[in-house]
Chains A and B, each alone.
Chain A
């Protein structure tokens, strides 16, 4: 056996490592032996003495194999076997995140208990979406790995036409065609065009909301504005914004989204200039119209807001999350959001209440244009890799959870019980009024404002490759926003270039 206690000694310019080792002589007795190794900073090695014991090469191979085998076993395969037999297993992604509040966990537990009671022959696997940086990517990754849930509730209806094309949503025509609630007209139908194609259905609506201009009353009044007299036209908007902006407080007139999602509010501004982003042609293709005069008007107005009126934050390239932060901490008067995006918990940190905000439709270029709002919404899609049985079971679960009278009543009760704010239009439109009434933190004024917005709400365009339009627009829009003193012709040229690129990339969808 060998034990060593290395002792380093600096001997002139050499390092000496002394090792003591124990060894066995022929008689089998243990004796100690000293070994000294001289080495000159690794360059030359002179060894004095040493005796070692025999060993075999098998040991090292065995060790290597053992380690090599251990790793995957310890890691384990993540893929789980689906339970076979009479019970169906459905995977859900409805679990609240780790830092969820108590009431959220309570609501979730009650929901799961009700589900288990109603569907005794289904095993529910609880899980949640990985919190990565983009929910669409995380879902696609899970789909590829085979760990996607039975149904998913976070897709916007604008994503669906693209997903119908690439096959990542299941065909549920069979169940929707026979759906009683739909036949009675109790299901939200604003997105029907988007979630169906060629008579086939691919999703069911979950909720709808409107967004235009969110006003922070407290900040506006601190800047000298008046709650009753909020800006209606671009002129009034710019005038007030310029007056209100004082970056040392900090307070700014309008919070601009300049990063990845900047084409989303741009859509609403194009509408408020009297134009459209896309127009449907007779043959089913779309013509891109964001580079026409209204689109250029909108882009130039954004540029003027930044450079001429100086009423935005200085760091233009902020993303959606940073804008929400600016809105919540009260440093911006106006922004492209809605009350439905606000969360009382987060507002508490800054001492604000939901009642301090109000929604108004977009300010328009001149009074002849209708004041509009963007209607958004989310839908429920189903996993395309489910079997027939599983799909049927999943549809039944969704129908119960989001469309049954029972659960709608529970939702309203929970809103009252925990003092939540939930002003979305649910999939069951006939329950909207009751749900709105259950919200105690929302004032009459806000409800009236929501009604006004709903009247003129337009849905986001949902043509095929709409998300590609948005991502291609990021570059020219950023250039327009960031170039001080850009001329109208230059801005139009940039938008034209973008349109040309889209025409050539997707010739089947976009035609002039």
Chain B
């Protein structure tokens, strides 16, 4: 009996030691990633939020304490609120122009009997090019003086437009290239999702006499719904974090009409050296984006 209890205790001890050892091993394996994330992701964010309560002085950090002044200034700044509207406008344009095109094209590629892989490749390759390089190339296209866009218009007899210089066309000029730049990537993802739609449903629908459009409406779309929702979420996040494209194409746009929130924050930080105000704005943007994403997810989950 005694030996049984002893071996039992020993087994527990061994198992406990092994458990502790496992724990230690797990934490040690996590150490490099954890250290990196804490030091280079969380610490700067905390530092940034900390700095928003000060007025930063370049020579003597952190500067003088001003409490919530920066936040009050951000919420009453007309330019910042205008920038928010620009972001919302950008999101609407991207929905109308860019969101549905890859879905439609993916469905069309799916229809093709022969050469499906070739089409997929043809649409995919131009999307592989880095978006910044393509954006600069499109900037050349939209040049009013010698750009290609005006030349093509002149072939049809339409007078040359001002493109990036005119406030009415500038959003179109920003989002039209996206069809070419990132449309291909989305197309491949949708195509992969479309492969999973079971074919028997279509056959059954055909037997029932359902037309093509109704088949798409009632079978295809619900099956790829989760991908669409995912893409829509990504699209929201992209629209509110829009900055690099605008920086390159218009630098804030004709008279600040394409200045997005992040671009305004960046310009405040880099041009006016007002880092604390810039960080205030990035914090606010982060909260806004997160709120929008969470709200959107809740809404779409309810529908399910």
Chain B: minimal CB distance from A43 (Å): 14
Chain A residue numbers with a CB within 8 Å of B166 are: 482
**Are B162 and A314 interface neighbours, CB within 8 A?**
yes
**Are B35 and A68 interface neighbours, CB within 8 A?**
yes
Q: Which of A60, A137, A140, A478 counts the most chain B CB atoms within 10 A? A: A478
Bound-state CA distance A141–B29 (Å) is 37
For residue B48, CB closer than 8 A to chain A, the reply is no
Chain A residue numbers with a CB within 8 Å of B256 are: 474-475, 478
Given A143-B59, A475-B255, A482-B255, check contact A313 B145 (CB 8 Å). Answer: yes
For residue A73, CB closer than 8 A to chain B, the reply is no
User: Which one of B58, B145, B270 contacts A315 once the chains associate, using CB atoms below 8 Å?
Assistant: B145
Given A168-B59, A314-B162, check contact A479 B145 (CB 8 Å). Answer: no
Which chain B residue shows the least CB distance to A252? B145
Give residues 473-491 of A contacting B (CB, 8 Å): 474-479, 482
**Are B145 and A57 interface neighbours, CB within 8 A?**
no
Given A313-B145, A315-B143, check contact A137 B32 (CB 8 Å). Answer: no
**Are B58 and A482 interface neighbours, CB within 8 A?**
no
For residue B222, CB closer than 8 A to chain A, the reply is no
Bound-state CA distance A430–B11 (Å) is 98
For residue A250, CB closer than 8 A to chain B, the reply is yes
Given A60-B29, A314-B144, check contact A140 B254 (CB 8 Å). Answer: no
Given A64-B31, A315-B143, check contact A482 B167 (CB 8 Å). Answer: yes
**Are A315 and B59 interface neighbours, CB within 8 A?**
no
Bound-state CA distance A385–B162 (Å) is 49
Given A61-B28, A314-B162, check contact A259 B271 (CB 8 Å). Answer: no
Give residues 16-69 of B contacting A (CB, 8 Å): 25, 28-29, 31-32, 35, 57-59
For residue A471, CB closer than 8 A to chain B, the reply is yes
For residue B198, CB closer than 8 A to chain A, the reply is no
1/0 per residue, CB under 8 A from B, across A436-469: the answer is 0000000000000000000000000000000010
User: Which one of A61, A64, A168, A475 contacts B58 once the chains associate, using CB atoms below 8 Å?
Assistant: A168
Which chain B residue shows the least CB distance to A63? B32
1/0 per residue, CB under 8 A from B, across A45-75: the answer is 0000000000001001100100110000000
Which chain A residue shows the least CB distance to B147? A315
Q: Which of A315, A468, A471, A474 counts the most chain B CB atoms within 10 A? A: A315
For residue A166, CB closer than 8 A to chain B, the reply is yes
Which chain B residue shows the least CB distance to A384? B59
Could you tell me which B residues sit within 8 Å of A by CB distance? 25, 28-29, 31-32, 35, 57-59, 143-146, 160, 162, 164-167, 250-251, 254-256, 270-273
Bound-state CA distance A167–B64 (Å) is 14
**Are B145 and A134 interface neighbours, CB within 8 A?**
no
**Are A479 and B255 interface neighbours, CB within 8 A?**
yes
**Are B165 and A482 interface neighbours, CB within 8 A?**
yes
Give residues 482-506 of A contacting B (CB, 8 Å): 482
Chain B residue numbers with a CB within 8 Å of A167 are: 57, 59
**Are B25 and A250 interface neighbours, CB within 8 A?**
no
Bound-state CA distance A482–B166 (Å) is 7
Chain A residue numbers with a CB within 8 Å of B28 are: 57, 60-61, 64
Bound-state CA distance A36–B63 (Å) is 65
Chain A residue numbers with a CB within 8 Å of B162 are: 314, 316, 482
User: Which one of A140, A143, A247, A317 contacts B165 once the chains associate, using CB atoms below 8 Å?
Assistant: A317
Chain A residue numbers with a CB within 8 Å of B165 are: 258, 315-317, 482
Chain A: minimal CB distance from B26 (Å): 11
1/0 per residue, CB under 8 A from B, across A101-143: the answer is 0000000000000000000000000000000001001001001
Bound-state CA distance A259–B165 (Å) is 11
Q: Which of A61, A137, A314 counts the most chain B CB atoms within 10 A? A: A314
Bound-state CA distance A259–B250 (Å) is 10
Chain A residue numbers with a CB within 8 Å of B145 are: 247, 250, 313-315
Bound-state CA distance A385–B58 (Å) is 12
**Are B273 and A140 interface neighbours, CB within 8 A?**
yes
**Are B254 and A479 interface neighbours, CB within 8 A?**
yes
Chain B residue numbers with a CB within 8 Å of A144 are: 58-59
Given A471-B271, A475-B256, check contact A143 B58 (CB 8 Å). Answer: yes
**Are B255 and A68 interface neighbours, CB within 8 A?**
no
User: Which one of B31, B59, B254, B272 contacts A385 once the chains associate, using CB atoms below 8 Å?
Assistant: B59
Bound-state CA distance A134–B273 (Å) is 12
Chain B residue numbers with a CB within 8 Å of A137 are: 270-271, 273
**Are B144 and A140 interface neighbours, CB within 8 A?**
no
**Are B164 and A317 interface neighbours, CB within 8 A?**
yes
Bound-state CA distance A317–B250 (Å) is 9
Bound-state CA distance A384–B57 (Å) is 13
* 10 A-B pairs in the complex with CB atoms less than 8 angstroms apart: A68-B35, A140-B273, A143-B58, A143-B59, A317-B250, A317-B254, A471-B272, A478-B254, A478-B256, A482-B166
Bound-state CA distance A26–B144 (Å) is 81
Which chain A residue shows the least CB distance to B275? A144
Chain B: minimal CB distance from A453 (Å): 31
**Are A134 and B271 interface neighbours, CB within 8 A?**
yes
Chain A residue numbers with a CB within 8 Å of B143 are: 315
Which chain A residue shows the least CB distance to B256? A475
Inter-chain pairs besides A64-B31, A247-B145, 13 sampled, C-beta below 8 Å: A64-B32, A140-B58, A144-B58, A168-B59, A250-B146, A260-B251, A315-B165, A316-B162, A317-B165, A384-B59, A475-B255, A477-B255, A482-B167
**Are B251 and A482 interface neighbours, CB within 8 A?**
no
**Are B255 and A476 interface neighbours, CB within 8 A?**
yes
Which chain A residue shows the least CB distance to B59? A167
